[in-house]
Amino acid sequence: MPIKSEPVEVNIGPQHPSTHGVFRMVARIDGERIVDVKMVVGYLHRSMEKLAEERTFTQNIPFTDRMDYLAAMTGNLGYCLSVEKLAGIEVPERAQYLRVIFSELQRIASHCMATGAFINDCGAWQTPVMYCFRDREKVLDLFEMTCGARLTTNYMRIGGVAFDIPDEFLPALDRLVNDDLPYRFEEYEQLLVGNEIIMMRARDVGVVTPEMAINASLTGPMLRSAGIAWDTRKADPYCVYDRMTFDIPVGYNGDAYDRMLIRIEEMKQSLRIIRQAVHQLPDGPHKTDVPLAIRPPAGEAYSRVESPKGELGFYVVSDGGPAPYRWHVRAPSLINLSVLKEMTVGQTIADAIVTLGSIDINVGELDR
Amino acid sequence: MPHAVTLTLPGQQVADRIRTRLPHAVRDVQPGYVVLEPASALEVMAFIRDDEQLDGKFLVQMCSVDQVTRIDVVYHFSSLAQNHIFEVKVPADHEQPVVPSISPLWVGAWLQEREVYDLMGVVFEGHPALTRLFLWDAFPGHPLRKDFMSLPGGQKTGLSQFPKQVPGQTGQEFRPPNPGTGQ
């Protein structure tokens, strides 16, 4: 005689290591299978968009650190680009190269974290995270050397970057990019790619199809895992990305395993970009002279950058005053979660955790 | 890709294309965007998505702006195949803002519409489950509105009491002529 069971509601999070912050998933399960999933967010809502309306354009830069605190540099960059677009500010060439170098270093740091946490979610408790953290720490050391902070860097400014790099930066970067990280990424590949346990755990889990990915506005590794070679750095180059040679890795199955491979390959491509940027790095000023309380002309601007999580966009409306009239952030972490239900319903709870880990959300950015 | 850099379609081009199918759907045309009639907005959105020239299959983002007399819901659409981007606005009444939901057309809109409803109070007709996203259900009001917790008599606080940009000034005038000397 079959045993009768009825659906049970299980709270995954908000206080759970596999939800990467304070994200809560209310899963309705029948046995081990998920029947319905409801996401509850807002535990980290700090109303940055409202706060920004009472602060000058320059004072808003630290907010962008605290959105995606694992990728503060790209957050800074996206915001500064939008204000520069609105005010028509030219950025010196050296600053543009420094922006590229730091964005790519940040991408490596964020992808290290994402890869390590993803393997952690797959069940390899803590050891791979420590491998990835070891390499992320070295990148953060470079940030600390340049701007004094490791996570909330507040490095980019409207019209350039806050400080020029110190003398010991380039030798340290050279050691990291040429002698250290390439071998570490080789090590990741040896350990992870083709690892039978990872493949059993992550293949055909959390599948997105190309149609679904476009319809749901997915960006970043989520979109590329579905086989669509879309990268804002190539499609809409900002700073000096149009002078760099690099490839966009894409997946074919759209599953969690593909997303992990894409992140590892993107870290290698970031190394390529950094090498070229260092090679081409010109002399000159690192910042153009912009008033601290800049008043851009009335109007609106939307600009976007490729953050490690996806397309990070900033929509800024100015009325000619010293503070933005309206400031909206297109947070990739939020929009990539649009298909969470489609991806997880029908799977087991353990697979849902793997799926969520492969999306690589950041709750600071999700809730803002 | 046809363009090396994403092409921003001018508002006139988008409006002309929409008018070929829906002649009365466009209310206003600006250089950067098109303002739609709210009544026929959903038809236009479906046209934007399925049209070959506009090809707005990718909803880049949507948000809302409080313009004091009205609330604008702002959409950015993009074509990944043709690599262009354009902007569309749907105005709504300030007191009772109601706009048709585009969640049936784009899955990616349903969370963003919940966010706009939560923070700006715009009601999206046809949304499958329009509830607050970030704030709790009993939260009073919609915080991104300009009149949220406003002071009586139109008093201003913070930066909004400072003057706007004056033509002919660069914004540099606030700086003292000799920094550090107190003059």
Question: Does residue A298 lie within any of the structural domains?
Answer: yes
Most confident of A17-21, A330-334, B139-143: A330-334
- Do residues B113 and B37 lie in contact, with contact meaning Cβ atoms separated by under 8 Å? no
Q: Work out how many CB contacts closer than 8 A connect A with B.
A: 125
Alpha helices in A29-179 (DSSP H): 48-51, 61-67, 72-87, 93-122, 127-147, 169-174
Cβ <8 Å between B159 and A321: yes
pLDDT band at A105 (very low <50, low <70, confident <90, very high): very high
A2 occurs within a structural domain:
no
Helix%, strand%, coil% for chain A, nearest 5: 50, 15, 35
The domain total for chain A is: 1
The answer to whether the Cβ–Cβ distance between A302 and B66 falls below 8 Å is no
Domain B7-147, CATH number (from 3.65.10.10, 3.40.50.11270, 3.30.460.80, 3.40.50.2300): 3.30.460.80
Percentage of chain B beyond pLDDT 90 is 17
Q: Are strands B98-100 and A156-157 parallel, antiparallel or unpaired?
A: unpaired
For residues B99 and B125, the answer to whether their CB atoms sit within 8 Å is yes
Q: Where are the domains of chain B?
A: 7-147
Share of chain A above pLDDT 70, in %: 100
As a whole number, the mean pLDDT across chain A is 88
Interface membership of A304 toward B (CB under 8 Å) = yes
Over residues B154-170, the pLDDT tens digits come to 666 556 655 555 555 55
- Chain B residue nearest residue A290, CA to CA: B172
In a domain, A3, yes or no: no
If you search the block for the tokens 């750095």, which residue do you land on?
Answer: A233
Least confident of A15-19, A288-292, B44-48, B87-91: A15-19
Counting DSSP H helices and E strands in chain A, the numbers are: 16, 8
For B79, the closest chain A residue by CA position comes to A214
Q: B107–A242: do the CB atoms touch at under 8 Å?
A: no
- The CATH number covering residue A154 comes to 1.10.645.10
Interface contact A258, partner B, CB < 8 A: no
User: Chain A partners of B133 at a C-beta cutoff of 8 Å?
Assistant: 41-42
Residue at token pair 């969370």: B111
Q: How many CB atoms lie within 10 A of CB A228?
A: 20
- Quick check: A300 contacting B, CB < 8 Å? yes
Site from B45, B58, B149 to mutate, A interface, most A CB atoms within 10 angstroms: B58
When CB atoms are compared, the residue of B108, B111, B135 closest to A215 is B108
Domain range for residue A116?
A: 8-367
pLDDT at A101 exceeding the cut of 60: yes
| β-bridge mates for residue B28, sequence order | B35
**Is the Cβ of A216 closer than 8 Å to some Cβ of chain B?**
yes
- Determine which of A24, A41, A86, A217 to mutate to test the interface with B (most B C-beta atoms within 10 Å): A217
Could you read off the pLDDT of A132-185 as tens digits, one per residue? 889 999 999 999 999 888 888 889 988 888 888 999 999 999 999 998 899 988
Residues 233-252 of A with CB under 8 A from B: 235-237, 242
> Of B87, B46, B95, which is closest to residue B70 (Cα–Cα)?
B95
pLDDT greater than 70 at residue A24: yes
Candidates A328, A342, A365, A367, partner chain B, best to mutate (most B CBs within 10 A): A328
User: How far is the alpha carbon of B19 from chain A, nearest alpha carbon, in Å?
Assistant: 25
Q: What is the band of B183 on the pLDDT scale with cuts at 50, 70, 90? A: very low
- CB-based contact, A323 to chain B, within 8 Å: yes
Q: What is the pLDDT of residue B180?
A: 52
Q: What is the pLDDT of residue A278?
A: 92
A277-309, pLDDT tens digit by residue? 999 999 888 888 887 778 888 889 999 999 999
Mark out the alpha helices in A193-286 (DSSP H runs): 196-202, 210-215, 221-225, 232-235, 256-280
Q: What would the pLDDT profile of B5-19 be if each residue is shown by its tens digit?
A: 888 888 888 888 888
SS3 assignment, position B146: coil
Contact B108 A302 (CB under 8 A): no
